[in-house]
Amino acid sequence: MHTKTRLLIIEDEAAILNGLTDVFLYHGYEVDGVMDGKTGLHSALTGKYDLILLDVMLPGMNGFELCERVRSEDPDQPIIMLTAKSGDEDIIQGLSLGADDYVAKPFSVAQLVLRVKAVLRRSHIGLESQRIIRLGNAVEVDSANLSGQCHGRSCHFTRREMEILQYLHSNNERAVSRNELLSKVWGYAKNLQLETRTVDIHIAKLRRKIEAHPSSPEHIITVRGAGYRLVAD
């Protein structure tokens, strides 16, 4: 029986893999490391890991494909992607495939440790608040099953998307700022200055699922200078 938090690091640069392994061992984690995509996929699907740190550029199978394969087998597996590219295209692709967060190289090891702790904290807390969320007459979401009916079609959500929707729903009388979502949903410290479009990308994904017309949203409204507000009726 494993009592320590278990990490799988999939990274093909030996120096980075060894360095990260040492860092997380020092912080009390149990760590397994692999250096190619196919071995990483096998480890991810057959092992029991609390979180996977996944490089994008890997031999054998890239990180995007690996993330998608893991997500198809275990939608709740926490994954943080490591990328040498900070462009929106790669970030959007990784988050669209279900990654919980991304970290661009070169990165601060201290910030990476904080992000790992934040994702783990959220995954351990799980889904809370009311189970059924109704938005008007056309959207009904079952938070426990991460699914629902949206405008006559089936819709499915990642755990992170559902956490955002639940938090907005529980605060639908006001606008919720981007920083508040990072703090309350992702678990980041309020004073941690993060350059990330994670919130914006996840909001866009949610709109594509629950809005009849995502470009003219009726439920997740942008409040200029204040953040996002959920309109339930």
Distance CA 211, CA 135 (A): 10
> In the 8-state DSSP scheme, what is residue 176?
B
Distance CA 216, CA 208 (A): 11
Q: Domain ends where: 66, 101, 125?
A: 125
Output the pTM of the full model. Answer: 0.59
**One domain, residues 18 and 92:** yes
Mean pLDDT of the chain: 86
**One domain, residues 86 and 24:** yes
**One domain, residues 14 and 51:** yes
Q: Domain ends where: 74, 99, 125?
A: 125
* pLDDT mean over 90-105: 76
Structural domain boundaries enclosing 64: 6-125
**One domain, residues 110 and 185:** no
Distance CA 19, CA 31 (A): 12
pLDDT at position 145: 87
Quickly count: other Cβ atoms within 10 Å of residue 202's Cβ.
Answer: 21
The three-state secondary structure class of 98 is coil
pLDDT at position 193: 61
Position 121 confidence tier, pLDDT thresholds 50, 70, 90: confident
pLDDT in tens, 127-160: 444 688 999 899 999 988 899 999 999 999 998 8
**One domain, residues 116 and 180:** no
pLDDT in tens, 173-208: 899 998 888 878 887 765 566 656 889 999 999 999
Within a domain: residue 116? yes
Distance CA 34, CA 42 (A): 10
3-6: long-range pairs with CB below 8 Å, 24+: 4/28, 4/29, 4/30, 5/29, 5/30, 5/50, 5/51, 5/120, 6/30, 6/31, 6/32, 6/47, 6/48, 6/49, 6/50, 6/51
**One domain, residues 110 and 77:** yes
pLDDT at position 52: 96
* Cα torsion 138, 140, 141, 145: sign: negative
**One domain, residues 91 and 21:** yes
Q: Residue 198 contacts by C-beta under 8 Å, 6 or more apart in sequence?
A: 95, 101, 102, 182, 186
pLDDT in tens, 213-224: 999 999 999 999
The three-state secondary structure class of 185 is coil
pLDDT at position 3: 59
Distance CA 178, CA 160 (A): 15
Count of structural domains, the chain:
2
pLDDT at position 43: 94
Distance CA 83, CA 185 (A): 23
**One domain, residues 88 and 28:** yes
Comparison of pLDDT for 223 and 48, the residue scoring more:
223
Comparison of pLDDT for 68 and 186, the residue scoring more:
68
**One domain, residues 120 and 12:** yes
